[in-house]
Chains A and B, each alone.
Chain A
Amino acid sequence: NAGVMQNPRHLVRRRGQEARLRCSPMKGHSHVYWYRQLPEEGLKFMVYLQKENIIDESGMPKERFSAEFPKEGPSILRIQQVVRGDSAAYFCASSEGGGQPSPLHFGNGTRLTVT
């Protein structure tokens, strides 16, 4: 499967624990995006990364959230000291990048539940 791979699909954490969400982009894609979907809401942009660089993290909460896309390995979205309000579906997407506009391709998401 050459699509965007996210794991785990489901993640349960107690308040105060850390959550790590992983995303491997489509083969050949060097641009990664993270979106969050709260219940009954649309997709909200969180962060956009290229290899080893955070390009825009304007959608990320200022505290507790961080993202990386290392030279080797998947992109990681990390949430420290989770709270109940972090419960949501987190989607990763990738694109080819470059000058021409191209669609985002999404993974199946990680559903985070904070108890």
Chain B
Amino acid sequence: DQQVKQNSPSLSVQEGRISILNCDYTNSMFDYFLWYKKYPAEGPTFLISISSIKDKNEDGRFTVFLNKSAKHLSLHIVPSQPGDSAVYFCAASVSGTYKYIFGTGTRLKVLA
């Protein structure tokens, strides 16, 4: 049972444009969400997180939006840069627990 889903395995975007990566979840108990970026042969790197008490969190070029009623979150990267080309994972957790459930990832390619 995949509780966290990233339905787009890949995405290509022109440099300078917006990249939007999507993530859906099924467990309504999740209240803490994270995005990670992963380059080949490296470990995932934490990008940004959001608690369910918010619907938006911004950090530089990265913004995460949370729609609790739709059980959906998205990561916006503006403007996209070639160095952003990587696999992006969303993850979800229930506060006070220790389990972080990851999606299967979306491979972003930013074209110069």
Contact = CB atoms under 8 A, between A and B. Distances in A.
Interface in B65-106: 89, 91, 93, 95-96, 98-105
Contacts of A4: 43
A106 B100 CA distance: 13
Given A31-B98, A91-B44, A101-B32, A41 B104 contact: yes
B49 interface: yes
A91 B44 CA distance: 9
| In the complex, the 10 A-B pairs of residues with the closest C-beta atoms, listed nearest first | A106-B43, A42-B104, A101-B32, A43-B102, A103-B46, A108-B43, A106-B44, A48-B98, A101-B95, A42-B102
A6 to B, nearest CB: 8
A20 to B, nearest CB: 19
B41 interface: yes
A34 interface: no
28 contacts: A31-B98, A33-B98, A42-B89, A42-B102, A42-B103, A43-B89, A45-B101, A45-B102, A48-B98, A56-B98, A56-B99, A91-B43, A93-B43, A97-B98, A99-B96, A101-B51, A101-B93, A101-B95, A103-B34, A103-B46, A104-B91, A104-B100, A106-B36, A106-B43, A107-B43, A108-B41, A109-B43, A111-B41
Contacts of A42: 89, 102-105
Interface residues of A, number: 27
Interface in A28-56: 31, 33, 35, 41-45, 48, 55-56
A15 interface: no
Nearest to A50: B98
Nearest to B33: A101
A111 B93 CA distance: 26
